[in-house]
Amino acid sequence: MSSPISTEAWQAVGLTVQLAALTTAILLLIATPLAWWLSQTRSKWRAPVAALVTLPLVLPPTVLGFYILVLLGPNGWIGMLTQSLGIGLLSFSFSGLLIGSIIFSLPFAVQPIQYAFEAIGQRPLEVAATLRAKPLDAFFSVALPLAKPGLLTATVLSFAHTVGEFGVVLMIGGNIPGQTRVISTQIYGHVEAMEYTQAHWLAAGMVVFSFVVLISLSFLKKRVDRVMP
């Protein structure tokens, strides 16, 4: 008996996991210093930067995907830069999907870490300063360990949000098998072809995955509530 999940579908699953893992890793590197700055600064630029970070939450994914596609295209400044460097265009490629996923999932990484930093308060950092710890030392030895629950939440949300993308990935990457076809676009393709059995299997897997993510977040919140005074 043939498997209800085709070889192409398994390929889409593997590509989705790869995309989500890379997106999450890069987002943590970008979001952590950005969240720290947003939690500590009193600069007049704080509100505009925070608004830019939050923008993907309120923009329709197709709108965000369209403008990223324009930027990556032959007349966009990113597209012109990559062409001048001999890289070629990043639209309709895995690299383009990665860029779009990072932008689209940015608030899901920044906000939990920012809230964790804000919850720490200034007292632990002031104590570290009295012990002659430099700001960078205090960040890595005090702030970052105390913000671990926020980092874990950001990791789970970023990964899950990337797995569930549809509008942005379809706009930027299309639906190319083995290159840009992820789980969400694979389901879309099955439905278009009226292959409902295959669509059901993948969609059910996504439901289970989403349920596990929500349970994990609830577990993390309970752990934080027990640890935090």
CA distance 190 to 200: 9
CA distance 140 to 134: 10
Per-residue pLDDT tens over the stretch 173-200: 888 888 889 999 999 888 988 888 888 9
pTM, two decimal places: 0.88
Q: Considering only 113-117, 123-127, 141-145, which range has the smallest mean pLDDT?
A: 123-127
Q: What is the pLDDT of residue 1?
A: 43
Task: Kindly give, in sequence order, each residue whose CB lies less than 8 Å from that of residue 200, ignoring residues fewer than 6 positions away.
Answer: none
Listed residue (196, 170, 202) closest to 183, CA to CA: 202
Q: Considering only 6-20, 116-130, 159-173, which range has the smallest mean pLDDT?
A: 116-130
CA distance 159 to 154: 8
- Indicate if the pLDDT at residue 121 is higher than 80: yes
Q: Under the phi-then-psi rule, with left for phi > 0, alpha for psi from -120 to 50, and beta for the rest, what region is 178?
A: left
| C-beta of residue 217 within 8 angstroms of C-beta of residue 153 | yes
Listed residue (79, 146, 87) closest to 118, CA to CA: 146
CA distance 229 to 223: 12
Structural domains of the chain, with CATH: 15-175 (1.10.3720.10)
User: Quick one: CA torsion of 179, 183, 184, 187, rounded to 10 degrees?
Assistant: 110
